[in-house]
Structure 1
Amino acid sequence: MKMHIPTIQRNSGFRKHLREELMRNKPYASQWIDAVIRTAYSIIESWRKRYLKGKARKIKPKIRRRFARCKITLMKIDYQSKTIRITLKPGEYLAISWRSAWFEHRVRGWIVGEAIILDNRIVISFKSSEEIKVMRVIGWDSSEPSLDGYKPIIGFIHVDLRPLQSMKIVYERKKAIAQRKGIRELYERYEARERNRVRDFINRLAAGFRRLFPNTIHVFEDLDKGDMVSRKKRGKKRRKRNYRTPWRSIHRRISEIALTASVDPRKTSRECPRCGFLAKTQEGQIFKCSRCNLEMDRYKVASINIINIRSRHLEGRKR
């Protein structure tokens, strides 16, 4: 099967022509035009990578909601008065203040990163630099019912995700009833309620990680959930079960408040942590090594292998 490889014009002549066309009869500052071009190139390049991996369709990407990224060169920031002045047009400005805002105490001492202008609001990102002394590294295996971690000094750690599974199952049934009756408002209400409760569960889980394991690097598997819920690669029941656990959302939320790393998930459940023998794919919860006769829970085997892979990667970089 032949695949057409899309090409992207990257030469300076095309960019210059595009910039001149966009600036024609536009009253906005020229930095906005440059920001639009950079954002468009970023979107197209991201789509191209996903398309070549088979994760995106052969349809040009479209922006559903308008937005504009404001560079630091278009902003004048006054940290004493806690205001940002954004240049829209020559001689026309937009002033934003975060004084007395609900998040003011959280960003005290931080610096402004960028501003994203939407149709109904403005999103301001803040950033801070903090030196953290890493005390431990924990490898985590992400499975359907749990997160299983391992650290030689601590031992095995088990985080139960079954309450999240139960929550998903309950709302799947409620949404199915609403969909069967054709009540769209009720379906959307259940969907919003499910989304909020899942987000609350993940936030509490991430807060627990930070409180129980300070100054820790959490190593997760770089899971591709697109393949796990694909109709071509998984059956209906298996797709539903994989969909119920939002591993990517959990990993992303933990990465926002703690140090994280990722490893390739291939062979983590098949390699023997004692002798390194690569076993064939096995069914069941118990891993059995035919070389050294090791028998251990598959999740524990994966968590040990994850931290071993991370250690080998760091040793290779030092060399």
Structure 2
Amino acid sequence: MLESGLRALENIEPLSGARTLETKSFWGAYQFFVGTGADPRYQKEKSDYVTSLSPAGMTTLLTELVGQSSSQIALILNAYGGAVDSLGESDTAFPPRRTVRFMIHYYSGWDDASATLRRVRAMAAFYAGMRPHVPGKAYINYCDSELRDWPTAYWGPNLTRLEGVKRAVDPTNIFRFPQSIPPVLADFDLKPFAEQAMQANPAAVLPSPDFTCTPPGCVFKAGVRPYRRGTYRLEIQPFGSKHVIHNYGHGGAGITMSWGCADAVVKFVQTLVPSGTRAQIAVLGAGVMGLTAATLLAPRITTSQFMQID
């Protein structure tokens, strides 16, 4: 199957050299593909979740990809299924489960500011050409300021329930960014909460940020993730009578490395918490690294007081 698939691709775009296949361990493959160079200064990313791609959709995708004048846009096809399908679409906030076969990740990166407009337009044209062939669902971690109906694209049928959670937990919309869960304001007056917060601590209330951006004076920077230039950080640091386990800086590889790093976190904790003793453990952060660490810690560290802090 692999051989026939590779031949089909080579019929579309011949190889520039000899084809070689090499078997690597998961960690060896990660180290091979991660590279050592710095990320481009400017990046633009988009995404599509795909249930199935028709022959016409495949033709459009490959035609756009091969027809580029300077390979400005790269595609990453992320396979779904497996453990992802063990949950239903409404079991968590993340809906792309059993109905999704893979995700198309459109990516472009560059360092020359003068190329920004050309790159963004090329990405928009590529993405527009795929609209007739995809359902319009998108990945929240590749925030896309050009999505028209981004709440539905990100959260689909879970949006109404998430708006209810937002209304109950954060009615004043303190935790927000331009594409966060929108508050439901139809029959809810936020003014008393805002006035109370300002009276209690005026310095803590920040003005709403100005997100207007007009190129070329202002350049969109979408899809940029924090990362460490050497490698990610996964280690124990004493902090007075306590210990901090650092687990961050994975960049775009977080979802790939999360379970392995979470297992390492559990082993760190087990070295710090002797068997039969009690300890307080807090997981700071509710991204993929925090959630996987919390998931593995909760059932294994049975003698500890455990909490997760977003």
Same-fold call, TM cutoff 0.5: no
TM-score, with structure 2 as normaliser: 0.26
TM-score, with structure 1 as normaliser: 0.25
**More strand by percentage:** 1
Specify the structure having the higher radius of gyration (Cα). Answer: 1
